[in-house]
Structure 1
Amino acid sequence: MATDTRTRMIEATALLLRRRGYHGTSLNDILSASGAPRGSLYFHFPGGKDQLVIEVTRDSVAGVTERLDAALAAEHDPAVAVHHIYQSVARMLEENEFSLGCPIAPVVLDAPNDVPGLAEICRAAFEQWIGLLREAFMRAGVPERRAHALALLVESSLEGLMVIARATRDRAPLQAVADEVAALIEAAVLAGEVRQRADATV
């Protein structure tokens, strides 16, 4: 039962953070949503709300990282992989009725510097996600500088498009940008292949 209570608190906090951010999520909200008794918070999380939020955010980041890594590894062509990622995000938004987007965006927008460790988790998350994209592009032959710029483009467009899709309750913007971004990546990969062939003949 204790484990169930802890799990409920983690799951409830994850949803509340995605909807309201750090400051918009109170201890009463967490206890009410999880159905946990008040004393259980400090029993499972002696550091209180901050410890709980840090653990939840770390778990959320790990989940996104795992899915992104798997999506990129599943396709030899990074343009196809990225297109699938946009489609996956669109499906996620539809399934939650456009109520939930990136798990850490609300935290970032809600002054994570107020909580020691939380800002670092968020910073490292974006660094890791951008790094996974960059490495996938480089494996396909895209030069490092271009690969990094494309990775930034993909990550920033996904973050912005989740906001737009939630506001419009429409996945169409994700689909439109997915096609354009995939075309850019495909062109970058082709240019890298041409460059490599030219270098090999020198």
Structure 2
Amino acid sequence: MATDTRKRMIEATALLLRRRGYHGTSLNDILSASAAPRGSLYFHFPGGKDQLVVEVTRASVADVTERLGAQLASESDPAVAVHHIYQSVARMLEDNEFSLGCPIAPVVLDAPNEVPDLEEICRSAFEQWIGLLRDAFIRAGIPERRAQALALLVESSLEGLMVIARATRDRTPLLAVANEVGALIEQAVLAGKVARRAETAV
């Protein structure tokens, strides 16, 4: 029973954070959404709300990181892999009826610097996600500097497009940009191959 209560609190907090951010999620909201007894929060999380939020955010980041890494590793062509990522995000938004986007965006916009551990998790999350994209592009032969820029482009467009899709309740913008970004990555891979052939010929 105690394990079930803890799990309900974690799941409820994850949803509340994605909808309302850190400051918009109160202890009463967590207890109400999880149907948990009032004294259970500090029993399971002695550090209170901050400990719970940090644990939930860390788990959410790990989940996204694992799925992103798997998607990038499943395709040798990074343009195809990235296209699949945009499609996956579009499906996720449709499945939750455009009510939930990036798990850390609301927290970032809600001043996580008040909780140092939370701030570090959010900073590290973007570094990890951008790094996974960059490394996939480098493996495909794109020069490191351009690979970093393309990774930033992909991550920033996904973050912005999730907001647009939620506002318009429409996945079309995600799919349209997926095609454009895919074409950019294809061109970058081709340019890298041409440059390497030129270097070899010299």
Q: What interval of TM-score do these two structures reach, taking the shorter chain for normalisation?
A: over 0.9
- Aligned residue number for residue 17 of structure 2: 17
- Aligned residue number for residue 132 of structure 1: 132
TM-score by length of 1: 0.99
Paired with 1:115 and 1:124, the residues of 2 have a C-alpha distance of 14
- Aligned residue number for residue 200 of structure 2: 200
Paired with 2:176 and 2:141, the residues of 1 have a C-alpha distance of 25
Paired with 2:116 and 2:67, the residues of 1 have a C-alpha distance of 27
For the pair 1:4 / 2:15, whether they are aligned, the reply is: no
Paired with 2:116 and 2:96, the residues of 1 have a C-alpha distance of 31
- Aligned residue number for residue 70 of structure 1: 70
Aligned-partner residue type, residue 62 of structure 1:
A
Paired with 1:115 and 1:23, the residues of 2 have a C-alpha distance of 11
Instruction: Give the paired residue count.
Output: 202
Question: Over aligned residues, Cα RMSD in angstroms?
Answer: 0.4
- Unpaired runs of at least 5, structure 2: none
> Once structures 1 and 2 are overlaid, which stretch shifts more, 63-72 or 113-122?
113-122
Report SS of the residue matched to 1:53.
helix
- Unpaired runs of at least 5, structure 1: none
- Aligned residue number for residue 116 of structure 2: 116
Paired with 1:46 and 1:62, the residues of 2 have a C-alpha distance of 23
Matches within 5 A, 1:1-202: 1-202=1-202
Aligned-partner residue type, residue 24 of structure 1:
G
Aligned-residue offset at 1:157: 0.1
Aligned-residue offset at 1:125: 0.2
Paired with 2:142 and 2:94, the residues of 1 have a C-alpha distance of 33
The CA deviation string for residues 95-149 of structure 1, in whole angstroms up to 9 with x for no partner, is: 0000000000000000001112100100000000000000000000000000000
The CA deviation string for residues 37-87 of structure 1, in whole angstroms up to 9 with x for no partner, is: 011100000000000000000000000000000000000000000000000
Aligned-partner residue type, residue 165 of structure 1:
A
The CA deviation string for residues 11-45 of structure 1, in whole angstroms up to 9 with x for no partner, is: 00000000000000000000000011011100000
Paired with 2:170 and 2:201, the residues of 1 have a C-alpha distance of 49
Report SS of the residue matched to 1:141.
coil
Aligned-partner residue type, residue 78 of structure 2:
P
TM-score by length of 2: 0.99
Report SS of the residue matched to 1:66.
helix
Identity %: 86
Paired with 2:60 and 2:149, the residues of 1 have a C-alpha distance of 25
Aligned-partner residue type, residue 19 of structure 2:
R
Paired with 1:52 and 1:38, the residues of 2 have a C-alpha distance of 14
